[in-house]
Every structure is written in structure tokens, then in C-alpha cells.
Chain A
Amino acid sequence: MNETAAKKNIKLARTLLLVAVAMFGFGYALVPLYDVLCEWKWIERDRPDAIKKAPELAYKVDLNREVTIEFITTLNESTPMEFHAEKKQLKVHPGEYYTVNFYAENKTNKVMIARAIPSFSPAVTSRYFEKIECFCFSEQTFNAKEAKTMPMRFVVNPELPEQYKTITLSYTFFDNTENQ
């Protein structure tokens, strides 16, 4: 190989290496891009405002319609807790306010900071499910062996499209103590 050929090769290799580095960055750029796509509803996911407080508005209660809300409670990995909802399901009228109690208990002898993350199925229903009060709005601190009864107050927005007759709301408790 002569000088110029070697130079040409190295130049091309540098350019290609730059492309590779850029693609590494692109992988990370997919993270914010994903949020944007979710916002544009290109990707359906539980909306971030599913864990935000909604104002308590007066809706016209639709007594002719009934929607079944199912509650599922899960613990992530080995989160050492007891966690369940006071009822497995509830029939609600859109527009009417309800309160459901959730029970959680720290099984350990240490302070635990845990976080409940909601998830809706079907995912689109998350934007019609408005929470006025929820233990999922912030992290929950549990003292050793502490048990808590935590209310969740919500309303199903009457604009919920007709075809949705059942909404499954699942909460998963994550032990976040180590991430403090």
C-alpha cells in the first residue's frame, strides 16, 4: 500500500467511526424521542398524567352506563410487602366520584421507601381515569412493620368512549429504598 492509499483508508475509517459514535448517540436519543412519540400517541402507553392529581370537577353523572373497574396489585421482584386492594372490582357510573382503599404493610424491620406505579389496560383508558387522591402521587415511606390504609379517589370521565366496558387498573409497588 502506498502513502496516499493508506491516508485515504484512514480518512474513510475515521468518517465511519464517527457514524458509529453518532449511532451510539442515536440510541440514547431514542429515549426522549420515545416520550415525544408517546405524547403524539404514535405509541400507546399509560400517560404520565395517570400519576398526576386531577382537579375535582363536577361531571354530569351518567346513570345509564356502568363501567367495571378491576384492581390488580403486584409487588416488583422481592419487595417485602403485603399489598392489596379492599375490593377486587367495582362497578362505577362515569362522572361519579368513588374512593377505594388500598392496604400496604412493610414486612421488614427497616424503614422502606416504596413507590406504586399504575398501569391501565386498555392503555387508552388512562386518560379518562382521573384521580383526585392517590398513594401513587408520591413515594410512600413505611416505618418498620408499619401498615397503612391508603385511599384512592377517582372519577371516570363521562367522555370515555362507549366501547370500553372494563378498565383494569394495576398497581405495582417498587422498593425504592436503595435508590434514595
Chain B
Amino acid sequence: MSAVVAEHDEHHADDHHGPAKGLLRWIITTNHKDIGTLYLLFALAMFFVGGSMAMVIRAELFEPGLQFVDPAFFNSMTTMHALVMVFGAVMPAFVGLANWQIPLMIGAADMALPRMNNMSFWMLVAGVLLLASTLFMEGGAPNGGWTLYPPLVLQPITVGKALPFAVFSVHLLGISSIMGAINIIATIFNMRAPAMKLMDMPLFVWTWLITAFLLIAVMPVFAGAVTMLLTDKFFHTSFFNAAGGGDPVLYEHIFWFFGHPEVYIMILPTFGVASTIIPVFARKPLFGYASMVWATGAIAFLSFIVWAHHMFTVGMPLAGELYFMYATMLIAVPTGVKVFNWTATMWKGAMSFETPMLFCIAFVVLFTMGGFTGLMMAIAPVDFQYHDTYFIVAHFHYTLVPASIFILMAAGYFWLPKWTGHMYNEKIGQLHFWLSAISVNILFFPQHFLGLAGMPRRIPDYAVQFADWNMISSIGGFIFGASQLLFLYIVIDTIKGGTGEKVTDEVWEDASKHSLEWTLPSPVPYHTWTTPPAMVPTEHVLDTH
């Protein structure tokens, strides 16, 4: 190991001689790279679990009529698919990236609170297992939708015995992400290399900083909302129970006060990774660094004041409809700034198209489409037609699959060589990209048509006029699902040695001009930056000539 490792770290006696031996290493580890790896592998596993549920959904919808599963189980699948993907796959994957990358990118030896870091990972595992256990309970897993709306979710018929388990699972997941967020904020504020000013930080670090604040602000609100569900169900409170003077619409307000920022919790780190990768393959500095930072802040702020665009149809006064309509449209402005900046970064760049860049380009194009359908739904009067149809399913899958998921893939291809010291197989990577990019559109594009034609979301059976597009969508879904096995193969193959080609410290041409991690050896040693770097590269002063 390199000289850096030998340096002494007084406080973590448990990890300063390299990793512990055997399995125990992974259980007790407080090393940010180990924990990052755990998060990422766990997220990858959950991606396949949630993905299998999606395959069940698409198989059932392949043809009209009831084929494979009964309606209650179908509804469990839509509910659990969403919960597993959001809380088990996308969010943990970004926390995993944060664990690996933030210390490397800001020149810190580790995360600020390493023991809490370990705890938050294992709490996540406990939360997800608790959630998964409901699948095997009498009455089945929750099936009232991931939003857990009352009165539906409080009725015995829709929830069986699962509700308290789902609620405690949300508590655990909430505590886990709050601890993760606190750790990330403390790391970024207190552990940066002295040479790195806030406005020198890579955008991935910036977007995570802002996301962490969102998490701390809204996860507790969600925890509160589900606690109210629990006490309504078992302790005779009447927050949402009309018989006792409560109001189910109140739940929708509280849920979406959390829920809308939550969707940005999944997209802001996505923006950060894209802003980190695109400049490297465009061989140019990021266009408009400062505006990217401000746009991220603006999006985060706006995300708190637009929540009722999810509830245009509950009967708000006209002033409310108008306010939430215009406020929502406003989000398109900072989002547009970002899309403009990514495009401008690529403009006249000496671009090359390795797999991470391909995923990023697809992200820019396809995420923009998701943004446009969002804008359509932001128009209150037309949302009365789109609401609760497949149109909205198409909308948020365009903002999540070819955006968050594609960017997570891009991040994998981009940083795996750095982490493992091995190059992935570019041919298979490109194949994975093209299969994914084409099939994701076969999967989700027809859902726009289905929604506009009036097919409701969350139904196991449908009128025959929807049959053709559903079949096409399902075929796209199966191809997309199967293609992801290529990614699994590549990850395992790369960890085991990949192409055998030795990667340089920089991995990608001139990457070290963009960000600190590329100045470290490949693979990254177990301990890094025990002495902070004296100089830091920054995007906005990068020399282009």
C-alpha cells in the first residue's frame, strides 16, 4: 500500500491497519469506502428485487384480463415496487456514491461520523427487511399505493396485518436517511481540505449537500404522517378519520409536503453526477458552474412550495389551484438552466462516447421529456384529465428511470475503474447502454398514449382498447429488465479483474483536472487523504486552452 496509508489516525483504532479479516469486516466497518460499497451492493440487489416486481406487473398487463396474479397481489406489487425502488434502490445507491465519493472529492480522510455511518447502513437493511417481511404476512404486503393514503390504507381489506410493519419500516428508513444526511453535511462542512472553498466543490458534492438538507427537513414529516396513520388505526386518534372529525385530505397535504421534495431528493444527486461526468468526456469545464449551484438551491427551495400539484383534483379553491400551478411551472426555470448548461458543456467539446457519457447524453434528452410532461401536468385544468392515469406513470418513470437510474449506471461505469483498479468491458457496456436506452422508450413511451386515452394507473385489468400499447410496453419492459443483467455481469466482472487492462490513476483523459479523486492511485487505497491535498482542481477555473 502507498505511503498515505501508513500515516496515523488517532481516533479510529479499529480501522487504521486496513480492513478487518473476513465477513466481520463488513459488519463492523466504519471505513467510508466499505460502507459505500455496502450501500451500492445493497441498492443493486434491491434494484433487482424491485425490478422483479415490475416484471410481475408488466406480465399481468401484457394482455387484458386477469392472467397470473389476483388483484390484491397486483396492487401489492405496484405498492412494493415503488417503495423498494425509492427507499431500497435509488436513495441508498446515491448514499453509497456519497460515501465513496464525497471524502475522495473534498480531500477528507473519511466521513465525519464513521460509526453513525455504519449504523445508518444497517438500519436501512433492517427497514427494508421489515418491509419485505410483509410480503409473507396474512393479508399480504401493503397494497394501497406507495403514498399510503387513508382511508384506503386503514381498511382491513387493503392492508391486512402489514400496516404497522410498513410504518415501522418507514421509521427505520427515515432514521437511516436522516443519519446519513447529517453525516454528509458534517463531512462537507467540517472535513473539506482547507484549500477547498465551498464554490470549489464538485457539483456532485454541492447537490448532495442540498439534498441532505432536504432529507433532514422532510423525512421527519413523513415519519410523522405515518405515525398518525398508526395511531388512527390502533389508538383511536382521528387525524384522518372523518367519523372522529379528521380529514383524509389532510394526509395528502402532509404526505406531499414530504413527497414532492422526496422526488427531488432522488433527482438532485442525479444532476450532480451528470454535471461531474459530462465535462470529463466533453473535455471542457462545466458550463456555468455557479448557475448550476444556484439552480440546485432554487429547485430545492421551490420543491417545498409546490406540493399540492399532486392534489389538483381534491377540491382546492381556485386561488390554490392557480398558485400551485404557477409555482410548479416556475421549477422549470432552474431546471431549464441545468439542461442548458449540460448542453452548453457538450457544445463544441472534444467529445468521446464511452459508456458513462452515453448514459449521460440519454439522461439529458430523456429527462427533459419527463420534465415536459411534468409541465403539462402542472397546468391544473388539464391535470384533471391526466391525474391518476398512465400519463403520470410515464411522466415519473421518464424522470426516474432514464434519469436517476441511468445516471447511477453512468456513475458505476465512471468510477468502478477508479475503485477497483480494473477496466470494465466497454463492448458489453455499450451493448447494455443501447439495449437499455431503446427498451426504456418502448417500455414507457406508449404509456403516454395509454394515459391520454384514459387508462387508470394501478389496475390489474383494462379495457380492450388499451391492449396493443400495453403489450408493446410489456415487451419493452422485459427487454429492459433482461438488459440489466448485463450490468450485474459487468459489475462482477470488473470487480474480479475486468478486461485485465491496467487503468491509470486518471482513468479518463485529463480527469484529474476536474476533480481530486483522479489524483489518487487506482485502485483507491483503503485510506486516503490522511493529509489533505494542498491544491484542488476546480471546474470554474479549469484551463480550456
Contacts and interface: CB of A to CB of B under 8 A. Distances in A.
Nearest to A24: B220
A9 B254 contact: no
A19 B216 contact: yes
Contacts of A9: 112-113, 186, 190-191
B156 interface: yes
Given A1-B11, A23-B221, A27-B220, A12 B317 contact: no
Tell me the interface secondary structure of chain A in the complex: helix
B250 A1 contact: no
A16 interface: yes
A13 interface: yes
A174 B155 CA distance: 12
Contact of A30 (B116, B157, B219, B253): B253
A93 B421 CA distance: 83
Contact of B243 (A1, A8, A12, A174): A174
B151 interface: yes
Interface string B239-258: 10111110101100110010
Given A9-B113, A23-B217, A1 B225 contact: no
Contacts of B186: 9, 12-13, 16
Given A16-B186, A27-B220, A77 B247 contact: no
A115 interface: yes
Nearest to A1: B11
A64 interface: no
A179 interface: yes
A110 interface: no
Given A12-B190, A23-B218, A34 B224 contact: no
A42 B320 contact: yes
Contact of A24 (B10, B155, B185, B224): B224
B233 to A, nearest CB: 11
Interface in A116-136: 117, 119, 121-123
A44 B221 contact: no
A44 B253 CA distance: 13
B243 A76 contact: yes
Nearest to B218: A23
A163 B257 CA distance: 34
Contacts of B317: 41-44
A21 interface: yes
Contacts of B224: 24-28
A44 B315 contact: yes
A2 B253 CA distance: 45
B220 A23 contact: yes
A148 B157 CA distance: 29
B316 A27 contact: no
Interface residues of A, number: 43
A58 interface: no
A63 interface: no
B65 to A, nearest CB: 28
B293 to A, nearest CB: 21
Contacts of B247: 34, 45
B320 A20 contact: no
A43 B316 CA distance: 6
Interface string A94-118: 0000000000000000000001010
Interface in B210-245: 216-225, 228, 236, 239, 241-245
Interface string A34-52: 1000000111110010000
A166 to B, nearest CB: 16
Interface in B340-370: none
Task: Tell me which of A6, A24, A121, A179 has the highest count of chain B C-beta atoms within 10 A of its own C-beta.
Answer: A24
Contacts of A25: 224
Interface in B309-328: 315-317, 319-320
A76 B244 CA distance: 13
Most buried by B among A8, A17, A27, A78: A27
Contacts of A19: 216-217
A166 B530 CA distance: 74
Given A24-B223, A27-B223, A45-B249, A16 B216 contact: yes
5 contacts: A12-B182, A16-B186, A17-B182, A24-B223, A174-B242
Query: 3 tightest A-B contacts by CB?
Result: A27-B224, A174-B243, A24-B220
Given A13-B113, A43-B316, 12 more contacts: A17-B182, A23-B216, A23-B218, A23-B219, A31-B239, A31-B250, A42-B319, A45-B249, A78-B157, A122-B315, A179-B236, A179-B244
